[in-house]
Amino acid sequence: MKTLRIALLQLLPGETLEENLQTGLAACRKAKEGGADIALFPEMWNCGYSIPEDIGTLRAQAVPADGEFVKPFGALAAELDMAIAITFLERYEPLPRNTVILFDRHGKKVLTYAKVHTCDFGEECRLTPGDDFYVAELDTAGGPVKVGAMICYDREFPESGRILMLKGAEIVLVPNACPMEINRLSQLRGRAYEDMMGIATCNYPCGQPDCNGHSSAFDGVAYLPELSGSRDTCILEANGNEGIYFAQFDLDMLRKYRREEVHGNAYRHPGKYHILTEERISEPFIRADYRK
């Protein structure tokens, strides 16, 4: 069977950019030793998800998308014949972005995604939001796979997963930096279920402020003919410890399920959903710190 093996690098960041670079490169090598097709980092790995209040310090901490922190991961991807999804605070104007870049196993940059749903009620009000969701066809040793990305808070909006599904995503990579508890895990389970796609989330372990590990993977396949009821779509939930955790997605099973089941885009009525694109916000949802 055709499978996709994703390494979730649930690691503690270091004190410096160089330390995170070296730790990250070493972790990717271990992921390859474990048979990974893709290595995924937690959110903003270059700085350990640090967003300074001082704008000058924030800008100094950001790194360019084609700079000396990011490029080595592209080179290593080609060396290892393994895709790498590296996350970082991206140097950008007017303010930095929360970004993930996916290098394919040839070292080619195939996807760049900046977090659309920034947490503007908190410190991410100092970041520039992304403006769209993207899907790339990733060349793997087992054949092409359509891969998308969303970051942390994006998962709390059904629209994020729905757009990625409509653009063809089979697997969605989710860098994360927050406590993963039953409700947030349920959001990921819901996105996988309703869009019939696999979702792999990588979080920081316990020891990182406001994080608790529990990186996870949901394969989105809720029903199988041989089962009398629904199945658990969770194929991996890590504990809180630092480590590299592997999630293996059965792509043949997922693709067959998507061809036959009722969710995703099979029975939608988009012509009746006009209210979803209205920008008017009414009580009780008006927030003073909301940014369009």
Active-site residue list: 43, 115, 152
Q: Which helix (H) or strand (E) holds 202?
A: strand 198-202
d(CA 40, CA 185): 18
Question: Residue 52 in 3-state DSSP?
Answer: coil
Instruction: Label residue 275 exposed, middle or buried (CB < 10 Å: 0-12, 13-18, 19+).
Output: exposed
| Biggest CA pair distance of the chain | 59
d(CA 92, CA 98): 10
Q: Which helix (H) or strand (E) holds 109?
A: strand 109-114
Residue 217's closest CA among 196, 240, 193, 200?
200
